[in-house]
Amino acid sequence: MSEKTFLITGVSSGLGLALARAALEAGHRVIGTVRQPAALRTFEALSPGRAHGVMLDVGQADLVAPVLDDAINRLGPVDVLVNNAGYGHEGLFEESPLEHMRQQFEVNLFGAAAVMQALVPHFRRQRGGHILNITSMGGTITMPGVSYYCASKFALEGLTAALRQELAPFNVHVTAVAPGSFRTDWAGRSMQRSARSIADYDSLFDPIRAARQAKSGKQLGDPAKAAQAILHIIEAPEPPAQILLGSDALDLVREHLHQRLAEIDQWQALTRSTDG
């Protein structure tokens, strides 16, 4: 394993922090983005001289390029970009203001895109690098009550897959990392929950919201093990287009894809009927 420089967005908690820790322990350098000065100090204390904190809110897309260009000028070229910063919006579509959807996309999609726009020219010129976008199983399957979140992660999956094809000629790998449920702050302090207002949805949605709150902090997935799996992908000679993390993601996504294929087969005569 050669020493690499990672750029990881959102290293204050959860998957980003676990990955930063694992990368530092494996001997890599990590530039980690945070939003609070206290988080920056805590992050740099993980490994003084090899853990470099940068203040960045990825939801402010116009600030991303100048901040990251400055970081690369000061700290040198990056080998691995991990677009991890993101959060979950929970709320029924009919009850959730469009503004909440815009915020969700500003961070989960446009934030990740802005970070990639800053890094892709470096990767292309250096003819090497690896971009890993943390999507979600909710970027392939859907659940009621997280339509804005799923929409943002479906979009990030699509962006990731197309970018993979564009950057392949330059020896730049692009991978979507799609976790199931992990023990992080995602469903706790980080989640934005739209208020309830329509009683018609009570029986569908109230149990879902209550179950997610009750499960927060007790999810199946271990972030430290996710970090080891991501390091494994980074060392692979031919990294996959998408890697699912967690047996919940594996079961749900596999079942969904089987159902989709069965439906495509069921309707194929009608599908073919439109050919000219």
Closest CA to 104 of 25, 43, 191, 34: 191
Shortest spacing between CB 179 and ligand NAP, in angstroms = 4
Please say whether the dihedral angle defined by the alpha carbons of residues 184, 66, 73 and 133, taken in this order, is positive or negative: positive
Q: Binding mask 131-150 vs ligand NAP (x if CB under 6 A, - otherwise)? A: ---x-x--------------
- Within 8 A by CB and 6+ apart from 164, the residues are 173, 174, 175, 241
Q: How many residues bind ligand NAP (CB under 6 A)?
A: 29
Give the active site residue among 87, 148, 149, 201: 149
Q: Quick check: 183 and 217 in contact, CB under 8 A?
A: yes
The tokens describing 200, both together, are 């018609």
How far is residue 193's CA from residue 182's CA, in Å, rounded to a whole number? Answer: 19
Nearer to ligand NAP, 36 or 268 (CB): 36
Nearer to ligand NAP, 124 or 209 (CB): 209
From candidates 4, 14, 227, 244, binder to ligand NAP by CB under 6 A: 14
Q: What does each C-alpha distance from 40 to 15, 29, 36, 122 come to in angstroms?
A: 16, 15, 6, 25
How far is residue 249's CA from residue 137's CA, in Å, rounded to a whole number? Answer: 6
The tokens describing 16, both together, are 């980003």
The tokens describing 216, both together, are 């927060």
Shortest spacing between CB 40 and ligand NAP, in angstroms = 10
Residue that has been written with the tokens 């290293």 in this structure? 11
Q: Using CB under 6 A, which residues numbered 214 to 233 contact ligand NAP?
A: 219
Q: Using CB under 6 A, which residues numbered 28 to 47 contact ligand NAP?
A: 35-36
From candidates 53, 59, 91, 129, binder to ligand NAP by CB under 6 A: 59
Q: Does 160 bind ligand NAP (CB under 6 A)?
A: no
**Does 149 participate in catalysis according to the annotation?**
yes
User: Which residues of the chain form contacts with ligand NAP (CB under 6 A)?
Assistant: 9-10, 12-16, 35-36, 57-59, 84-88, 107, 111, 134, 136, 179, 181-182, 184-186, 190, 219
Catalytic residues: 149
